[in-house]
Amino acid sequence: MTDPSPEQETPAAGQSALLQMRGIVKRFPGVLALGGVDLDVRAGEVHCLLGQNGAGKSTLIKVLSASYQPDEGEIVWQGSATKLSTPDAAMGLGISTIYQELDLVDGLTVTENIFLGHEISSGGFSRRHEATARARALLARLGHSEITPHRLVGDLSPAAQQIVSMARALSHDTKLLILDEPSAVLDQEEVRNLFRVVRDLTEQGVAVVYISHRLEEIRQIGDRITVLKDGRTVATGLAVADTPTAELIRLMTGRDIEYAFPPRPAHSHDTEVVLEVRGLSGERFRDVDLTVHAGEIVGLAGLVGAGRSEILETVYGARRSTQGTVGVGGRKLRRGSVRSAVAAGVGLCPEERKSQGLLLDQAVYRNVTISSLRRFAKSGFLDFSEERRAAEELSRSLDVRPPGVDRPVRNLSGGNQQKVVLARWLLRECKVLLLDEPTRGVDVGARTEIYNLIRRLADEGVAVVVVSSEVEEVLGLADRVLVVREGSVVHEGPATEIDESRVLDLVMEGDVA
């Protein structure tokens, strides 16, 4: 299936290959993560790496950044065979990587993070002024002068942290920049900004390897594409312009998938009100009203940092509200009490899967059942086989790969970890389900399945609230949409009566029409 003739018409045509990877093999105990992968990247191009969750994309770039050593295969850098022995060596060649899971140190400042490991110093003393000045210049180059170098990284929003990672990557003399799902934590505006930066870089001759599950992004930014499937290259050097999306999906999944949202039920929502939020105010939002009926899906659209996650977490009691009430089924919840929310049948699938969701060292099935333990226990004793069975059923329908619920979650790929967190909340029989970015990092095929599952739950009478940075997702999945801007709801209405550009306008300007 490998395309033998590289494309001629790409913008990068004529440039020699910057990097060639040949027959890369990487084994983990019991898993062949990469079974012979080829990749060649030219200077000045954006090379997209596509593949389903668990296809081996992150593993491949970890080989490239030398955080893993390949078991077999050859890496040719600027024409000569190279062995990348340490991450430092890879960086020295000009390979910079931004990993799928951000790897910043929360307790250090922006500047300290940017220059971590290659501090600007003389005679052992750090030259703080110079470092700060250079950090400021880097941030300005990325179009984010508003991030002050003295801030602690832990206090920044995910999007801003992403920018800091970018600045860190660019603080070296970079020839190849690797971005592993950078847009997963970004909203449309931020993505546009990211693309501007990427174009700037490619114009300067920097090559970019770009990983994303959002195919429309590939259309906008990509030059050529390599597709991985089950740890093998199934196509390489495809020109973006000549490859239809359906073809890409077929290459990735090996089947044709209709990328569609489940149909909305015809009936209107004159069912009972399940979730009723009145005048809720909290840390980053004020005076939010939200009513969700049984069987209804309500979407919250808005920019990252607009306060949508805070709203969900406050409804769930994980944050304390300063004002207002949350009622479920007519009963008021205790303020700032997760227990009271859980007892009332509320579930929250949190935004940050690593820090807020996963028990990394525990087996998949244990991660899935942890919120529903009571269901599997007889007078405190757990029924393991019943637990496994339930987890297996769900992970099969979410297509968690590799299958098998006994492996530790740590060893799963990012998108599959996300499915595990989601499975936890689908398993728990909630009356109200709050989903914060439920499809972050999930591939096309599994996404459709997740949408169907969410709709099925709603049809069973669950009240669902979905937060997503992808406007398309909110509009396609939800019955009713609330647009949040800087902590206030600026629009509320049926999803069918508003389109994407209108939402974007509202998000940016927030004028209530």
Ligand X SMILES: Nc1ncnc2c1ncn2[C@@H]1O[C@H](COP(=O)(O)OP(=O)(O)OP(=O)(O)O)[C@@H](O)[C@H]1O
* Dihedral angle over CA of 166, 172, 176, 179, nearest 10: -20
Q: Which of residues 373-412 bind Mg ion (CB under 5 A)?
A: none
**Beta carbon nearer to other proteins, 140 or 359:** 359
**Beta carbon nearer to Mg ion, 194 or 311:** 194
58 near Mg ion, judged by CB under 5 A: yes
366 near other proteins, judged by CB under 8 A: yes
- Smallest distance from Mg ion to CB 127, Å: 37
30 near other proteins, judged by CB under 8 A: no
C-beta of residue 399 within 8 angstroms of C-beta of residue 281 = no
441 near other proteins, judged by CB under 8 A: no
Q: Where are the beta strands (DSSP E) in 283-388?
A: 285-293, 297-302, 323-328, 331-332, 346-349, 377-378, 381-382
* Residue 54 site contact among ligand X, other proteins, Mg ion, none (CB < 5 to 8 Å, cut-off depends on kind): ligand X
C-beta of residue 485 within 8 angstroms of C-beta of residue 507 = yes
196 near other proteins, judged by CB under 8 A: no
100 near Mg ion, judged by CB under 5 A: yes
**Beta carbon nearer to ligand X, 408 or 461:** 408
Buried b (16+ CB within 10 A) or exposed e, 350-384: bbbbeeebbeeeebbbbbbbbbbeeebeeeeeeee
Backbone angles phi, psi at 376, to 5 degrees: -105, 10
**CB neighbours (10 Å) of residue 279?**
12
What is the spatial distance between Cα 459 and Cα 448, in angstroms, rounded to a whole number?
16
340 near Mg ion, judged by CB under 5 A: no
Classified as helix, coil or strand, 282 is strand
Pairing of strands 432-436, 346-349: parallel
Q: Return the residue of 182, 302, 345, 414 that touches Mg ion, per CB under 5 A.
A: 414
- Smallest distance from ligand X to CB 283, Å: 31
Q: Which of residues 92-111 bind ligand X (CB under 6 A)?
A: 100
- Smallest distance from other proteins to CB 228, Å: 16
Q: Is 507 exposed, middle or buried, given 0-12, 13-18 or 19+ CB atoms closer than 10 A? A: buried
Q: Return the residue of 411, 452, 472, 486 that touches other proteins, per CB under 8 A.
A: 411
* Residue 101 site contact among other proteins, ligand X, Mg ion, none (CB < 5 to 8 Å, cut-off depends on kind): other proteins
Distances (CA, A) of 272 to 280, 292, 334, 345, 435: 21, 9, 22, 15, 21
360 near other proteins, judged by CB under 8 A: yes
* Residue 339 site contact among Mg ion, ligand X, other proteins, none (CB < 5 to 8 Å, cut-off depends on kind): other proteins
- Smallest distance from ligand X to CB 361, Å: 12
Instruction: For 159-216, give the DSSP string.
Output: HHHHHHHHHHHHTS--SEEEEESGGGG--HHHHHHHHHHHHHHHHTT-EEEEE-S-HH
- Smallest distance from ligand X to CB 402, Å: 5
53 near other proteins, judged by CB under 8 A: no
Site string for ligand X, 403-432 (x = CB under 6 A): --------xxxxxx----------------
**Beta carbon nearer to other proteins, 56 or 476:** 56
Chain contacts with ligand X (rule: CB under 6 A): 28, 31, 33, 51, 53-59, 100, 401-402, 411-416, 441
